[in-house]
Chains A and B, each alone.
Chain A
Amino acid sequence: SQQGEEDPQALSIQEGENATMNCSYKTSINNLQWYRQNSGRGLVHLILIRSNEREKHSGRLRVTLDTSKKSSSLLITASRAADTASYFCATDENNAGNMLTFGGGTRLMVKP
């Protein structure tokens, strides 16, 4: 079953704009990760944020985590056409063993 829900399900923006995707989850977690998937391909890890962290940056990516609201957001700044992909959050839940629970994903389209 899916742990989280992502919002929006689809997002279309112009190159140069910022893209924000949100993820909500239901249980306590060890960490939350964001992955990217180009159409029909494997997933690529973007960033991991631990449950005791509130914000993390990696290049043009900024991730926030609010454990009290059980939510996270991924911000991509100055988007490029090459950022067009699906983005998934994944939670590493407490007591769930060694598995990640993925959200439904956000399909991002960046128009040149």
Chain B
Amino acid sequence: KAGVTQTPRYLIKTRGQQVTLSCSPISGHRSVSWYQQTPGQGLQFLFEYFSETQRNKGNFPGRFSGRQFSNSRSEMNVSTLELGDSALYLCASRKQGGNTGELFFGEGSRLTVL
């Protein structure tokens, strides 16, 4: 069974640009969550999608957005990039949307903003 796949793995952008990251969950998993990991703030929850609906959102500005498609694949977008957006962006999936159960993480997309 294939794991969670994130693309691209690495990317470099400049301030003011926008970026789209993609996540394909494990087959059969309908919940997809996104986390940002930085050395200073650690792992921070961005948002969670279940059946194409955003069910929860972390404390991030509106520049951070996401969506989920009918096949459960998810994308997140960051517009007007800032230097502080440099981070490892991790996607995680789980089968159901309940509040128990482990998350299965992808390898992450490492974004560098210059």
Query: What is the interface of chain A, defined by CB distance below 8 A to chain B?
Result: 1-2, 30-31, 33, 35, 40-45, 48, 50, 88, 90, 92, 96-105
Contact = CB atoms under 8 A, between A and B. Distances in A.
B48 A98 contact: yes
Contacts, number: 71
A1 B59 contact: yes
Contact of A98 (B35, B59, B98): B98
Nearest to B4: A42
Nearest to A92: B99
B95 to A, nearest CB: 12
Contacts of A99: 33, 45, 48, 56, 58
Given A1-B59, A33-B102, A40 B88 contact: yes
Contacts of A45: 102-104
18 contacts: A2-B42, A2-B43, A35-B105, A41-B108, A42-B90, A43-B103, A45-B104, A96-B56, A96-B99, A98-B48, A98-B55, A99-B45, A99-B48, A99-B56, A100-B33, A100-B45, A103-B42, A105-B42
A88 B43 contact: yes
Interface string B48-71: 101000011011000000000000
B88 A97 contact: no
Q: How large is the interface on B (under 10, 10 to 19, 20 to 34, 35 or more residues)?
A: 20 to 34
Given A43-B103, A98-B99, A104-B42, 7 more contacts: A2-B42, A2-B43, A40-B108, A42-B90, A43-B90, A92-B100, A102-B42
B106 A42 contact: yes
A33 B99 CA distance: 12
B110 A40 contact: yes
Contacts of A102: 35, 42-43
Contacts of B45: 99-101
A1 B44 CA distance: 7
A36 to B, nearest CB: 10
